[in-house]
Amino acid sequence: MTGAAGGGALRVATVITRLEGGAGALALRGVLALRGEAIEPVIVTGSGGRLLAEAAAHGIEVVVAPVLKPVLSPRSDVQAVRWLRSFLAGRRPDVVHTHCAKGGAIGRIAARRAGVARIVHTYHGFPFHEFQSPARRLAYVAAERRLGRFTDVGLCTGTGVAVEAIRRGLISPERVRTIGVTVETAVRSGPGAADPCARERARRALGLAPGQLAVGAVGRLAYQKAPEDFVTALSALNRPDVTGVWIGGGELAGPVRRQAAAAGQRLVLTGDRSDVADLLPGLDVFALPSRYEGLPTAVAEAMACGVPVVATAVNAVADLVEPGVTGLLVPPARPDLMALAAGYLLEHRPEADRMAAAARDRIGVRYSEQALQAALAAAYRGGCGPGLANQDEAGGRPDLLPAGGGGRLKLNV
Residue 40 pLDDT level (bands cut at 50, 70, 90): very high
d(CA 103, CA 96): 11
Question: Of 98, 277, 108, whose CA–CA distance to 195 is shortest?
Answer: 277
Residue 22 is predicted with a pLDDT of 87
Reported as a single tens digit per residue, the pLDDT across 243-262 is: 999 999 999 999 999 999 99
- Global pTM? 0.82
d(CA 128, CA 130): 7
Q: How many CB atoms lie within 10 A of CB 310?
A: 27
Task: Quote the CATH superfamily of domain 185-365.
Answer: Glycogen Phosphorylase B; (3.40.50.2000)
d(CA 247, CA 271): 6
Beta carbons within 8 Å of 210's beta carbon, 6+ residues apart: none
Residues 372/141, Cβ–Cβ less than 8 Å: no
Residue 182 has pLDDT above 60, yes or no: yes
Rounded average pLDDT over 312-326: 94
**For the chain, where do the domains classified as CATH 3.40.50.2000 start and end?**
10-182+368-390, 185-365
Residue 73 pLDDT level (bands cut at 50, 70, 90): confident
Question: Of 82, 79, 119, whose CA–CA distance to 98 is shortest?
Answer: 119
Burial 230-266 (b: 16+ CB within 10 A, else e): bbbbbbbbeeeebbbbbbbbbebbeebeebbeeeebb
Q: Is 217 helix (H, G, I), strand (E, B) or coil?
A: strand
> If you average pLDDT over every residue of the chain, what do you get?
88
Residue 101 pLDDT level (bands cut at 50, 70, 90): very high
Per CATH, domain 10-182+368-390 is 3.40.50.2000: yes
Beta strands in 219-266 (DSSP E): 242-247
Q: How far is CA 20 from CA 29, 74, 260, in A?
A: 12, 23, 26
Residue 406 is predicted with a pLDDT of 35
Rounded average pLDDT over 45-55: 93
Residue 1 has pLDDT above 50, yes or no: no
Residue 410 has pLDDT above 70, yes or no: no
Task: Look up residue 287 and give its DSSP letter.
Answer: E
Q: Is 188 helix (H, G, I), strand (E, B) or coil?
A: helix
d(CA 120, CA 376): 9
Any bridge partners for residue 30, and if so which? Answer: none
Task: Look up residue 132 and give its DSSP letter.
Answer: S
Residues 27/16, Cβ–Cβ less than 8 Å: yes
**Residue 17 main-chain phi, psi, to 5 deg:** -70, -30
Rounded average pLDDT over 306-330: 95
CA angle 40/45/46 to nearest 5° reads 160
Rounded average pLDDT over 94-101: 97
Residue 45 is predicted with a pLDDT of 97
Residues 248/275, Cβ–Cβ less than 8 Å: no
Any bridge partners for residue 243, and if so which? Answer: 214
Residue 193 is predicted with a pLDDT of 52
Residue 401 has pLDDT above 60, yes or no: no
d(CA 69, CA 168): 26
Residues 13/3, Cβ–Cβ less than 8 Å: no
Residue 386 is predicted with a pLDDT of 42
Residue 7 is predicted with a pLDDT of 57
Residue 236 has pLDDT above 80, yes or no: yes
For residue 236, the number of C-alpha atoms closer than 13 Å in the C-beta half-sphere is 16
Rounded average pLDDT over 196-209: 92
CA angle 110/21/101 to nearest 5° reads 30
Residues 302/309, Cβ–Cβ less than 8 Å: yes
Beta carbons within 8 Å of 253's beta carbon, 6+ residues apart: 221, 269, 271
Question: Of 258, 305, 260, 261, whose CA–CA distance to 279 is shortest?
Answer: 305
Any bridge partners for residue 285, and if so which? Answer: 215
Four-CA torsion 12, 16, 20, 25, nearest 10 degrees: -40
Question: Of 93, 91, 160, 153, whose CA–CA distance to 119 is shortest?
Answer: 153
Specify the higher pLDDT residue, 385 or 298.
298
